[in-house]
Amino acid sequence: MKKKTTLNDIAHRMGLSKVSISKALRNHPDISENTKKKVRVLAKDMGYRPNLIARSLTSASSKTLGVIVPKIAHNFFAQVVAGIQQYANTMEYEIVLTVSDENESQEQKHIERLVAMQVDGLLVSVSMETRNYEIFNWLQEIQIPLVFFDRHIPGMGFNSVIIDDEAASIEAVDFLFNRGCKKIAHLAGYNHVSIGHKRRMGYEKGLNKYDLPVDDSMIIEGGFSEKFGYQGFKKIYSQGVKPDGILAVSFPVGLGAYIAMREVNPILMENIQILTFGDSGIGGVVSYPQYYLDQSGIEMGRRSAELLIKEIQGEIKPEGIIHFIETRIIDTGNISLVLAENLDK
Amino acid sequence: MKKKTTLNDIAHRMGLSKVSISKALRNHPDISENTKKKVRVLAKDMGYRPNLIARSLTSASSKTLGVIVPKIAHNFFAQVVAGIQQYANTMEYEIVLTVSDENESQEQKHIERLVAMQVDGLLVSVSMETRNYEIFNWLQEIQIPLVFFDRHIPGMGFNSVIIDDEAASIEAVDFLFNRGCKKIAHLAGYNHVSIGHKRRMGYEKGLNKYDLPVDDSMIIEGGFSEKFGYQGFKKIYSQGVKPDGILAVSFPVGLGAYIAMREVNPILMENIQILTFGDSGIGGVVSYPQYYLDQSGIEMGRRSAELLIKEIQGEIKPEGIIHFIETRIIDTGNISLVLAENLDK
DNA sequence: TTAATGAACTTTACCGTTTAAGTAAACTAG
DNA sequence: CTAGTTTACTTAAACGGTAAAGTTCATTAA
């Protein structure tokens, strides 16, 4: 790479000190209008670009946010990142994006690296694997602004932005019940992951609401991927239990269940309603699973970036406040409606 | 944020100079094993973390790559970013991700910002709107390593990694022809965008191959979103032309066409085969469009990151070489096959 | 025995920028 | 007319780290 023009280079050419150049370019009152003009012209001429790294070193602010997502090639997280970008951009922040790949040690490495890079704050969605919170304790000690999104660790004092999973689950059971389902199974996530736990709690509360029995054989705990949905359904089915509705903890799980169902007996597709958390990412042209709980990743991204930046700027404090993003049930049977909303994008 | 421990802090505590501490921690031979041990212990104790920004300033390398994508909440680009991440991670590089939102001036701003941030190289997928290449000329002048991916500007000397769109289009026509299509329409992208242009060229070559006429009323130029697919199909149809196959420039376009088709007359869904570039992002459970050209974003991301890092390390030079990523046609009618591949993820 | 060698440090200087603290000349007020 | 203020700069110091060039003292080779 070619050597870059620095303040000093300009200073020498103009016979001024580098500080004067710095001030001129930052429109500091110390410098005369006349000089400022000349400096600006020469700076442009010489292709001067401020070295933001050097600036960060003095200003102790990098105008940079560290983001850690468990996955990026995953519609929901891609959306969240888009939302973060949108807000960060308007505030002149840049994003250093890292992916934990649901791996605790990766997550840890990234956190350390980001902190070492002097990001002004962190946005993290905790990996499913994470059990050891030491690193987060450390982050709290060094008091770096941090906002959790989607997957948080409650009770640590960090603010977080999440889906109101419990409420959404209750709503989901409501919805299925109102469509005639009396035996609703739940393909649940891991119970130690907050979303898994909450979705399950909501599911149980929803059943209670209608005096439906909570039957353990109707709850399969597992992961969030297609594989678990597939295996989960087969497991339920092999037990001889016949659900008429399924609440799946994620779209892939619902998808896996659907595949399994089709494999077992295509007729089931008409008799079992599947409702999943999260959509496929293509705005509603998937025929099955038909219903899903729409979670606005964009909104979540924006909100969390907003909170983080406010925290960085000292406008708010980390108080362990949980902000909820609303969820609504979408019926993909009604494609044209969903599409109409998307046509203008 | 709490004040961070620096080399100097450790130095004072130990009664050594900061340079010795620096050397000790970097395992420099100048320092005795004994001292090194003590330094390491104390450093850990005091919670010392090197300030990477300061380090970058001297080393003139930030171990950071700037990435510019037109969209992020878009399966293909999310995949590419995942691929970039994967490779960059193994090489200890971090990613500063920016989104141009298909906007020329945004793109320009991001490039300037990233350069100012002293990223070691740039990975860019050019926005659809971009007509003015000045900024890229500048990048070439300052000789910053840059690799284009997916959307490139040929003839500028930068290396790029793209889909072999022309070949893929020819293959696509082949495929449709072999399934009996004789009147294949093309919902094309903009002709000034390289992928739009190439896909169209391939489409025409494909038709020529089978002596099918190239009929301008069967080619609708437009964007890459659902809206254009929808409008495009309606336009073709309103002209009284009845295609039996459609090659759509992107999945959303194919999707829009499908919706339009269904609106016009559901029977068409059985008589018109749609083949799209790119998939929906959910691994094959969309019933329509049934066929798509699979583009491995992950692979593209990996390859471009690899090229860029090699260029940064001086192993290769920018020579305007175009690297092609292969494409294959997927039939979503055969769901279980596709899924089987995904179950292990 | 003495100069060269090596081990284990320290000092100086620099990366590019900013902030704080000068300084000289011109301007203003009493 | 002189002291005080302004204007338009400059110099010094700092941010946290690294590289290069000393410096000491102990050891080794001739």
**Intra-chain end-to-end CA distance of chain B, in Å:** 39
Name the minimum distance, in Å, from the CA of B99 to any CA of chain A.
7
Per the listing, tokens 């119970």 go with A191
Say how far apart CA A15 and CA A142 lie, in whole Å: 44
pLDDT, residue A280, reads: 60
Say how far apart CA A231 and CA B90 lie, in whole Å: 33
Each residue's pLDDT tens digit, A53-77: 999 999 989 999 999 999 998 888 9
Say how far apart CA A312 and CA A330 lie, in whole Å: 36
Mean pLDDT for B231-235 is 92
Task: Flag the least confident range among A140-149, A202-211, A336-345.
Answer: A336-345
Mean residue pLDDT of chain B comes to 89
Burial (CB count <10 Å: 0-12, 13-18, 19+), residue A169: buried
Q: Do B4 and A142 touch (CB under 8 A)?
A: yes
Say how far apart CA A291 and CA B31 lie, in whole Å: 66
Closest CA to B256 of A344, A139, A224: A344
Tokens of A306: 């907003």
Write phi, then psi, for A221 (nearest 5 degrees): -90, 145
pTM of the model: 0.83
Asked whether the beta carbons of A108 and A137 are under 8 A apart, the reply is no
Mean pLDDT for A332-341 is 47
Q: Which of A62, A99, A255 sits opposite B53 (nearest CB)?
A: A62
Task: Flag the least confident range among A212-216, A222-226, B180-184.
Answer: A222-226
Asked whether the beta carbons of B226 and A343 are under 8 A apart, the reply is yes
Write phi, then psi, for A126 (nearest 5 degrees): -65, 135
Per-window interface: A 1-30 vs B, CB < 8 A: 1-2, 4
Cα A156 vs. chain centroid, distance in angstroms? Answer: 19
Query: Please, what is the Cα angle at A151 between A149 and A152, to 5 degrees?
Result: 80
Q: How confident is the model at residue B239 (pLDDT cuts 50, 70, 90)?
A: confident
Each residue's pLDDT tens digit, A254-277: 888 887 887 788 788 788 999 998
Percent of chain B with pLDDT over 70: 93
Write phi, then psi, for B47 (nearest 5 degrees): 70, 40
Asked whether residue A80 carries a pLDDT value surpassing 60, the answer given is yes
Q: What is the DSSP letter of A286?
A: B
pLDDT, residue B62, reads: 96
CB closer than 7 A to strand D: which residues?
A 15-20, 23, 30-32, 34-35, 54, 57-58, 60; B 4, 6-8, 18-19, 22, 25-26, 30, 48-51, 54-55, 57-59
Per-window interface: B 113-132 vs A, CB < 8 A: 113-118
Sign of the alpha-carbon dihedral angle for A61, B56, B22, A8? negative
Answer for A51: CB within 7 Å of strand C. Answer: yes
pLDDT, residue A223, reads: 84
Which chain A residue is nearest to residue B288, measuring alpha carbons? A285
Tokens of A284: 């509603």
Say how far apart CA A282 and CA B212 lie, in whole Å: 33
Best of B51, B94, B234 to mutate (most A CBs within 10 Å, chain A): B94
Closest CA to B246 of B238, B237, B254: B254
Asked whether the beta carbons of B281 and A75 are under 8 A apart, the reply is yes
Asked whether residue A140 carries a pLDDT value surpassing 50, the answer given is yes
Q: Which residues of B touch A256 (CB under 8 A)?
A: 343
